[in-house]
Amino acid sequence: MPLHHHLVGHTWALGPLRWTFADTALYALGVGAGAGDPSREREFTTENSTGVTPSVLPTFATTLVPPGEHPALGDFDVTRLLHSHQSVTLHGPLPVEGAAVTVSRLTGLYDRGRAALAVIDSRCTDAATGRPLAGLRTGLTVRYAGGFGGETAEDEPWERPAREPDHTAGYPTAPHQALLYRLCGDRNPLHSDPAVAARLGLPRPPLHGLCTFGFAGRALLRALCGCDPARFGTMSADFTAPVLPGRDLTVRIWAGADVALFEVRSHGRVVLGRGRFVPRPV
């Protein structure tokens, strides 16, 4: 099962990818905005509410890098490929409609023992002006592909604080949450086809990791940015366990002087771990 090490350093471009407020509102609904109280977060879910200026959830930026739009990383069954890490850095509020060009680079293929880790860095710019919109780093774990003697890529230290979280947010997910979120662009049948989920030992299709990421982004936006997307800076986390739609999510946030730590729990276990958030100076 050889990996394509010769692709390290390879770059590719996608786009322009265009969106309107209908797309950003669908994304907001896909990550739970308005589910508990439709009168809240209307700036993200409606474009014609009295006294409300339409806006875009910052984590919508993750949809500007469509899943699977990268060169084949090796000769292996795609079911061995897991999305294991995501970070996103916003350079300012995203426009409610626009187009982006994304340039991505395979930064490295790292040896993690039994598994390999592929790291892809992406830069999204406004297609019309060239203005930077967002930067993303995606980690993809290839199971059973390690042991080739390459670099190991050490994780940045992360330790859960001993004290209680400074902020806690609880969110329900709907039984059809994955079906709704997949309309934002990720049509992987793992999240909709029970037969595919069963092959991976899951009782039913799980939620997309980036959907859970979006729920956490909403909590961070409210708790640490005063609901102002202009203050949303860098958010990163590891995907540590699947979430079954219909189960609740609990976002736990520990505020710090410069960096906040967070995690998401569901059904008694951490499903989004090693979370970091850095607000954007405004």
Residues belonging to the active site: 186, 191
Question: How many Å apart are CA 184 and CA 270, to the nearest integer?
Answer: 25
Question: How many Å apart are CA 49 and CA 98, to the nearest integer?
Answer: 21
Question: How many Å apart are CA 208 and CA 212, to the nearest integer?
Answer: 7
CB 28 within 8 A of CB 63: no
Q: What is the DSSP letter of 156?
A: P
Q: Is the dihedral of CA 142, 145, 146, 148 positive or negative?
A: negative
Q: Which two tokens stand for residue 180?
A: 């709704």
* Cis peptide bond prior to 172, omega within 30° of 0: no
**What number of other Cβ atoms are within 10 A of residue 214's Cβ?**
24
Question: How many Å apart are CA 129 and CA 98, to the nearest integer?
Answer: 11
Q: What is the largest CA-CA distance in the chain?
A: 60
Question: CA-CA distances (angstroms) from residue 136 to 5, 123, 144?
Answer: 21, 7, 26
